[in-house]
């Protein structure tokens, strides 16, 4: 039986992962499931899958979790240290699907155990790509991309020589506001931004899709994951979300990964890699689909894409600063302290202030330095939003 741990089990990716595990229960032993505020779901799944351990990230919810698990034989724990301890338990395959930079430390700890880490938490690669790759290499762990675009690129690259790659194109749906007149964006509300035209995902990534911060993170993730020159990486708007990414080779071939917008494909690919097993995803009817369309990814409408280019050029800890500033600005938008378009303004201002402080971007990429840059960026974002 394969030993499996899921970080962020109560979220959208976590639930899709459990859906796949549930279809072949006898093949897996669930080691640990982790969640945040959704104690009911966490306890229900921990019982159903007979997990060894359930962890909530919130120390104030431990008593509630214990109560919900009483008599089940499942151990309960809480808080950031308990997440690291869960990651230290030996497992063959670990899903990293906490949202935000909080997912970094548990994923790194799992890699130190030599686990195969299925990485949905793109923030890990954006904040600390070099550290993630180094840790996997040192301890014999593997990182398998779960972000649909990166899973697509990974699949298109199987058996290929990276030197033959001319370009990598990742697609973007364009999110909730792709057809809105620019002048209306100032009035956009969190509820409107949290409605995705194609994908069913967590609230934060859905709003990041509307602002294109999600695609900005993914451009950086592509550079870090595949170690590709940023000049070769592009984003294009593809409203149907059927092609997830394309890889262009020097002989002119462009290999596209096509499939319905269902994360269980990318999760299942990572779960069974290097095998391909039958997955419960819809099979495309190309004739019914009729046509696929593409539009430019406009950097005026979506300034996050321009900022991603700056971050890729700057390297170092700028990814950690960019991500943390975005996380905080998104909190500000959700709390209605800033408008939709101010999210990018806050992030740009944070990047410029932190970059102006010598040593902050160039420090070595260690977990401590990344978390320090993350903290500093949040403090600066608050200063800017509170002024």
Q: Which residues bind Mg ion (CB under 5 A)?
A: 147-149
Q: How many residues bind ligand NDP (CB under 6 A)?
A: 27
Name the binder of 326 from Mg ion, ligand NDP, none, CB < 5-8 A by kind.
Answer: none
Residue of 35, 303, 319, 332 interacting with ligand NDP (CB under 6 A): 35
- What CA–CA distance (Å, rounded) separates 313 from 329? 22
Residue 45 or 349: the one with the smaller Cβ distance to ligand NDP is 45
List CB contacts of 291: < 8 A, sequence separation 6 or more: none
Asked if 79 is part of the footprint of ligand NDP (rule: CB under 6 A), the reply reads no
Asked if 230 is part of the footprint of ligand NDP (rule: CB under 6 A), the reply reads no
- Cβ-contact 112, 139 below 8 angstroms: yes
CB atoms within 10 A of CB 72: 15
Between residue 171 and residue 200, which ones bind ligand NDP under the rule CB under 6 A? 199
Residue 9 or 156: the one with the smaller Cβ distance to ligand NDP is 9
Asked if 74 is part of the footprint of ligand NDP (rule: CB under 6 A), the reply reads no
Bond into 378 cis (ω within 30): no
Residue 53 or 205: the one with the smaller Cβ distance to Mg ion is 205
Between residue 129 and residue 168, which ones bind ligand NDP under the rule CB under 6 A? 147
Structure tokens given for 178:
């792709």
Name the binder of 178 from ligand NDP, Mg ion, none, CB < 5-8 A by kind.
Answer: none
Residue of 4, 8, 28, 319 interacting with ligand NDP (CB under 6 A): 8
- The distance of closest approach from Cβ of residue 170 to ligand NDP in the complex, given in angstroms and rounded to an integer, is 12
- What CA–CA distance (Å, rounded) separates 265 from 20? 10
List CB contacts of 157: < 8 A, sequence separation 6 or more: 165, 226, 247
CB atoms within 10 A of CB 22: 12
SS3 state of residue 144: strand
CB atoms within 10 A of CB 317: 27
Per the listing, tokens 């990485």 go with: 119
Asked if 334 is part of the footprint of ligand NDP (rule: CB under 6 A), the reply reads no
Binding site for ligand NDP (CB under 6 A): 8-14, 35-38, 57, 97-99, 102, 120-123, 147, 199, 201-202, 204-205, 263
């Amino acid at each position: 039986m394969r030993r499996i741990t899921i970080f962020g089990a109560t979220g959208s990716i976590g639930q899709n992962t459990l859906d796949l595990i549930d279809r072949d229960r006898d093949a897996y032993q669930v080691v640990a499931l982790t969640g945040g505020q959704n104690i009911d779901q966490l306890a229900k799944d921990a019982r159903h899958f007979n997990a060894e351990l359930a962890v909530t990230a919130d120390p104030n919810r431990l008593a509630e979790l214990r109560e919900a698990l009483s008599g089940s034989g499942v151990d309960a724990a809480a808080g950031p240290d308990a997440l690291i301890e869960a990651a230290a338990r030996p497992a063959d395959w670990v899903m990293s699907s906490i949202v935000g930079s909080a997912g970094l430390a548990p994923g790194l700890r799992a890699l130190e155990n030599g686990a195969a880490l299925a990485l949905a938490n793109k923030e890990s690669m954006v904040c600390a790509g070099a550290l993630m790759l180094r840790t996997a290499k040192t301890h014999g762990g593997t990182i398998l991309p779960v972000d649909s675009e990166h899973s697509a690129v990974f699949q298109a690259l199987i058996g290929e020589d990276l030197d033959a790659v001319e370009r990598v194109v990742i697609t973007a749906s364009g999110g909730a506001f792709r057809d809105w007149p620019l002048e209306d964006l100032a009035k956009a509300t969190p509820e409107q931004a949290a409605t995705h035209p194609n994908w069913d995902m967590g609230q934060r990534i859905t709003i990041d899709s509307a602002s294109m911060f999600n695609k900005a993170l993914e451009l950086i993730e592509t550079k870090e994951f595949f170690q590709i020159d940023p000049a070769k990486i592009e984003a294009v708007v593809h409203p149907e979300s059927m092609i997830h990414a394309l890889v262009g080779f020097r002989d002119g071939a462009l290999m596209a990964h096509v499939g319905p917008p269902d994360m269980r494909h990318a999760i299942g690919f990572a779960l069974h890699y290097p095998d391909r097993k039958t997955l419960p995803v819809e099979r495309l009817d190309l004739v019914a689909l009729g046509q696929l369309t593409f539009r430019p990814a406009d950097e005026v409408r979506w300034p996050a894409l321009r900022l991603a280019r700056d971050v890729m050029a700057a390297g170092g800890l700028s990814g950690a600063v960019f991500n943390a500033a975005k996380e905080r600005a998104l909190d500000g938008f959700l709390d209605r302290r800033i408008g939709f378009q101010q999210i990018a303004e806050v992030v740009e201002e944070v990047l410029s202030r932190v970059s102006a402080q010598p040593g902050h971007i160039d420090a070595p990429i260690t977990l401590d330095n990344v978390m320090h840059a993350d903290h500093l960026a949040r403090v600066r974002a608050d200063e800017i939003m509170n002024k």
